[in-house]
Structure formats: C-alpha cells, structure tokens
C-alpha cells in the first residue's frame, strides 16, 4: 500500500525568489501520527497547502495515497482542518456535515454523519448550532468534517492550540483512535508536549529545510529515570523512553510495588531548541509572507 503522504525533494519558490521549501523529505505512513514542527516562517503551512493541492510545488514530488497532490484522487483521499477555520454559526452539527458531504461529493448520507459525530464525541450535540458550541466542540466538529469521505490522510493545523487541558486530552484520545483506524495524520503544531505525547514520528523544519527527524524518543535521547518503590527510589541513567515500561516490569517481577515514575533529562523541547534555537538561520524575515498573487489560495506563511 502507498504511504498516506509521501514527500520527496519538495521545493517551493514564491514570486520574488522567496524560498519557502528547500528540498523537504517526509513520509506519513498508514496509521501513523507525524508531528510537523518548526518556527514561524519555517515552511510548515506551505508544505501543508501543497499536500492539500492549494499551492503548487516548484519542484520535487508529493503524493497522497499514491496519487499526485492536487489531483482529484489525492483530494478525495485528503481531509484538512485549518488552524483558523470558520463554520457558519447558524448551522447545526448535522447540517454542517451535510453541507460538507455535498461539497466533497460523499455518498455516505446520514450513516456517515452519525458515525462521525459519535466518533468525535458529539453524538448528543447533533442538533446544536455552531454558535452555541464551545471551542473544543467546534474543534472536534472540524475533525469530523475533515473525515468525510473516509480519507487516507488527515492534515491538522494546530488542532489543540486554543483548547484548555481537558479539550486537548479529548483531541489526543481522538487522534489515537484515528491511528488505530489506519488513518495517516500530519499534525502541524507549536505545542511540543502534545506532539511528544501522541506522535509516532516528528519532522522539524527550519528555513524550508528538514533539520531533524525521527521518533520523539530518538530526538529526545536518553534520560534519567526515577522510580519510586516500596523499598526506596530506583534511579537509572541513560534510559530511552521506550525502555521505561520494561524497567518497571522488571522491578514488579522482583516483587516491588511501584508508586511513581519520573523522567528527567532531555525532552523533545530540548531537541527542538538544539536544532532550531532562537536564531533565524534563513527563515522568513518579519513581514515576509511568501504570497504569490499568481496562485489562488496561496496565503501568508505564518
């Protein structure tokens, strides 16, 4: 099976010679959650819009479920939720999904609408108007509309940035459910803690280039772990995150009771700051918007 999203040697140069992307490689496999990180102006939004077919690449190859990005087949296989989405305030949840089914040409009907509302936890809010929904409810409704037509790939731009901790938890659980259904998800976010919690892989771009890629554990590196047991605190240095469950099982097998597990040392945030830092290293200067008037749909890279 083709990857949900495959990006090879992607470049984008806007009018005036501004380079938004400079040879980016990225893959989102089936059932993978991939975090896309980078500072403002790094090229994240441009990459996302190219994958959606809203912006045309200057070079390289981008495919969605094996079809060229922007083609009818690729658009049908893509679900997208923009960061600053706006839904008509007067529509109910059911009416909004019905509208987007018509726009997407989906024949799923009422069964699809009901399934998606249940999936995002809005089964009891089907008749609630958008204007009466909390930000968290609107965010989940946005994910539901992005899933119309059973896409292979979901592109989510800052889906938890405006949510409180409870709302973020709900969206995290939803993302895990999507992964279990074999849907590939690319998560564009500034919230490194959220990405570290749910993503299988992370790509960090800066100045239009990939500066680091790997699993959150690989990027964060080894850590110190303290495990509070009934016989005292066990401290181990240089433990990879994926090895912590085995360490806990080992202590339990020895007959110890576990009360708490604490991690120390580096994190994804540390790894991010190491490769990005506070310099601008070729990224867009303030005021550069990468907007190409010859390409409808091209927007400011923020």
For position 289, what pLDDT does the model report? 41
Same domain, 228 and 211: no
Mean pLDDT check: name the lowest of 83-97, 144-158, 186-200.
186-200
- In this prediction, what percent of the chain has a pLDDT beyond 70? 89
CA pair distance 66, 162, nearest whole angstrom: 33
- The structural domain count of the chain equals 2
Q: Is a pLDDT exceeding 50 seen at residue 69?
A: yes
Residue 178 lies in a domain: yes
Mean pLDDT over 232-237 rounds to 84
Q: Is residue 108 a part of any domain in this protein?
A: no
- Asked, for residue 131, whether it belongs to a domain, the answer is no
| Per-residue model confidence as pLDDT tens digits over 275-299 | 887 544 444 433 334 444 344 444 4
Look at residue 62 and tell me whether its pLDDT is greater than 90: yes
* Same domain, yes or no: 271 and 187: yes
Average pLDDT rounded to a whole number, residues 239-259: 88
Domain assignment of residue 227, yes or no: yes
pLDDT at 293: 38
What is the C-alpha to C-alpha distance for residues 75 and 78, in angstroms, rounded to an integer? 5
Strand runs labelled E in 129-231 = 153-157, 184-188, 201-206, 209-214, 223-229
Same domain, 175 and 260: no
pLDDT at 20: 93
Note whether residue 98 is domain-resident: no
Query: Among residues 54, 274, 207, which one has the least CA distance to residue 64?
Result: 54
In a domain, 73, yes or no: yes
pLDDT, tens only, 33-50: 999 999 888 999 899 999
* pLDDT for the residue numbered 161: 67
In a domain? residue 105: no
Q: Any bridge partners for residue 184, and if so which?
A: 153
* 215 and 202 housed in the same domain: yes
Domain match, 197 and 271 both: yes
Q: Is the pLDDT assigned to residue 192 strictly greater than 80?
A: yes
**163 and 247 together in one domain:** no
**Mean pLDDT within 161-169:** 75
> Residue 38 and residue 209: Cα distance in Å, rounded?
10
Taking residues 87-105, report their average pLDDT. 94
Residues 162 and 259 in one domain: no
**CA 224 and chain centroid, separation:** 28
| Alpha helices for 186-284 (secondary structure H) | 192-198, 216-220, 244-253, 268-275
Looking at the fold, whether 170 and 250 belong to one and the same domain comes out as no
Kindly report the CATH number assigned to the domain that includes residue 52: 3.40.50.300
Q: Supply the range of the domain harboring residue 48.
A: 5-77+151-219+267-275
Q: Do 66 and 155 have their domain in common? A: yes
């Amino acid at each position: 099976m083709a990857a949900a999203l495959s990006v090879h040697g992607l470049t984008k140069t806007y009018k005036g010679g501004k380079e938004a992307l400079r040879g980016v490689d990225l893959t989102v496999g089936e059932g993978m959650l991939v975090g896309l990180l980078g500072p403002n102006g790094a090229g994240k939004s441009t990459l996302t819009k190219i994958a959606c077919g809203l912006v045309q690449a200057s070079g390289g190859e981008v495919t969605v479920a094996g079809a060229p990005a922007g083609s009818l087949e690729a658009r049908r296989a893509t679900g997208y939720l923009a960061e600053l989405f706006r839904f008509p305030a007067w529509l109910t949840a059911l009416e909004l999904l019905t509208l987007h089914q018509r726009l997407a040409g989906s024949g799923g009907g009422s069964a699809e609408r009901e399934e998606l509302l249940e999936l995002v936890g809005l089964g009891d809010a089907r008749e609630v108007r958008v204007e009466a929904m909390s930000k968290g409810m609107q965010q989940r409704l946005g994910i539901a509309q992005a899933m119309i037509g059973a896409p292979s790939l979901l592109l989510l731009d800052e889906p938890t940035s405006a949510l409180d901790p409870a709302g973020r938890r709900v969206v995290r659980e939803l993302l895990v459910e999507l992964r279990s259904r074999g849907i590939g998800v690319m998560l564009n976010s500034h919230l490194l803690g959220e990405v570290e919690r749910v993503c299988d892989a992370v790509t960090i771009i800066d100045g239009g280039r990939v500066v680091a890629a790997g699993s959150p554990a690989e990027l964060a590196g080894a850590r110190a772990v303290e495990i509070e047991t009934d016989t005292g605190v066990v401290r181990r240095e240089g433990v990879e995150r994926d090895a912590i469950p085995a360490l806990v099982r080992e202590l339990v097998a020895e007959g110890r009771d576990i009360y708490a597990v604490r991690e120390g040392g580096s994190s994804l945030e540390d790894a991010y700051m190491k490769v990005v830092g506070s310099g601008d290293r070729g990224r867009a200067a303030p005021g550069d918007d990468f907007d190409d008037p010859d390409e409808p749909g091209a927007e400011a890279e923020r």
